[in-house]
Amino acid sequence: MKSAKESADDVMARLYEQARAVIPGGVDSPVRAFRAVGGTPIFIDGASGARIRDAAGREYVDYLGSWGPMIVGHCHPRVVAALRDQAGRGTSFGTPTELETELARRVCGRVPRCDKVRFVSSGTEATMSAIRLARGATGRDGVVKVEGCYHGHVDSLLVRAGSGVMTLSIPGTPGVPTALAGLTRVVPFNDVDAVRETLAASRGEIACLILEPIAGNMGVVPPRSGYLEALREITREHGVVLIFDEVMTGFRVHPGGAQTLFGVTPDLSCFGKVIGGGLPVGAYGGRADLMDRVAPDGPVYQAGTLSGNPLAMRAGIETLDLLAAPGVYERLEESSARLAAGLEKAAAAAGVTASLNRVGSMLTSFFAAGPVTDFASASRSDTARYARFFHGMLERGVHLAPSQFEAAFVSTAHSEAEIDATLAAASAALADL
């Protein structure tokens, strides 16, 4: 006899097989394929608030949050109403709309010294365009990136670092020209000396330094005290454009992003995820003298047929307005802190070695002895153990990211009861490891 669970698994297996016949790996973004945790990806049918439902009708408390955008939860009534309204007015015009100005005002109003912002359709486009602008403004080609930071699938950023700071970079994927990858230098996260040495050695070649001010794509790794301040100083000395990639942290860790939380102002910032409220939006912005070099005011070309898309702008505006209500970030902080404390307690009770990093509503519990401060220490995590934990949580109705090196995202829709249920599931799943 088939159990209900078996038949649900059969549904997933069938959907996955059908997808694989027509889509490479059955997915439109590789990490969705569960390669890091094994098993069959779950196909999602719908979601509401903090909950997500798969195509077999099973429900989960969701901490993936579409990898970050869903900070007000899924299907917030105000976001849904705005989208329905806009669908009736028109979904794309290829002309300016007031909606773009409205969202831009909100961004520039919250992020100090972001004078102007240009909307694009993804985080990748935002970082790619910011780097182009930095190169155009400085007349230099070199880029310094930080190990473990992810900035989308931009060609010149898909490089694997050698062990030494000065090692010439080689492409991390076929399809990226060696010549392009060779323009990128990679330094470890939280390492000021490496940046100082790299910029001193390649004087006059480096256009920009790009990093996540709080790393989220090797799991959550906060900057050491003084790190961002030092980067600000060194880049200024060398005339290097400092780019904060706040695609994940923007409007999540603070209304004004990580740069406001830490009080360090970059030259350019990249946004995405939360800014689109679950629709495809990215943005790059910063000082007017730099942004005025973007076409049509300036010579640095960058364009997009669907950029500033009206549906996406409406979702972004509603989301940012919901986040502007009093006490929102305080409540996010409270529920995230409760979740983090509960997870640490559960791991200790189960005798599982874990190290929890959290900034606001983004957190990662590394299966490693801490502290996790950079890519090397994150890499020491027991990923096989994470895979077992991930599946243990999924079986108990909790949806996490299918990789150790990702953040869990808490939304304003996560109730105390849902967090308690998550902690009960975690205690059981950890005890089972």
* Footprint on residues 117-146 left by ligand PLP (CB under 6 A): 122-124, 127
The residue range among 132-140, 212-220, 374-382, 391-399 that interacts with ligand PLP, by the rule CB under 6 A, is 212-220
Nearer to ligand PLP by Cβ, of 73 and 123: the residue is: 123
The closest residue (CB) to ligand PLP is 123
Number of chain residues interacting with ligand PLP (CB under 6 A): 15
Residue 393 and residue 384 in contact, taking contact as beta carbons nearer than 8 Å = no
Nearer to ligand PLP by Cβ, of 194 and 218: the residue is: 218
Q: Which residues are catalytic?
A: 150, 245, 273
Nearest in space to 142 (alpha carbons), one of 239, 265, 282: 239
CA–CA gap between residue 123 and residue 152 (Å, rounded): 6
Q: How far is the CB of 67 from ligand PLP (least distance, A)?
A: 6
Q: Among residues 51, 110, 151, 314, which is the contact residue for ligand PLP, using CB under 6 A?
A: 151
Q: How far is the CB of 201 from ligand PLP (least distance, A)?
A: 27
Nearer to ligand PLP by Cβ, of 122 and 373: the residue is: 122
Determine if 316 is a binding residue for ligand PLP (CB under 6 A).
no
Q: How far is the CB of 403 from ligand PLP (least distance, A)?
A: 13
Q: Among residues 26, 152, 256, 285, which is the contact residue for ligand PLP, using CB under 6 A?
A: 152
Determine if 214 is a binding residue for ligand PLP (CB under 6 A).
no
Structure tokens at 259: 């740069």
The residue range among 187-195, 209-217, 284-292, 337-345 that interacts with ligand PLP, by the rule CB under 6 A, is 209-217
Determine if 216 is a binding residue for ligand PLP (CB under 6 A).
yes
Nearest in space to 136 (alpha carbons), one of 207, 242, 209, 211: 207
* Footprint on residues 245-304 left by ligand PLP (CB under 6 A): 245, 247-248, 272, 282
Q: Among residues 16, 34, 60, 150, which is the contact residue for ligand PLP, using CB under 6 A?
A: 150
Nearer to ligand PLP by Cβ, of 208 and 347: the residue is: 208
Nearer to ligand PLP by Cβ, of 285 and 392: the residue is: 285
Nearer to ligand PLP by Cβ, of 152 and 171: the residue is: 152
Three-class SS of 262-299: HCCCCCEEEECHHHHCCCCCEEEEECHHHHCCECCCCC
Binding site for ligand PLP (CB under 6 A): 122-124, 127, 150-152, 212, 216-217, 245, 247-248, 272, 282
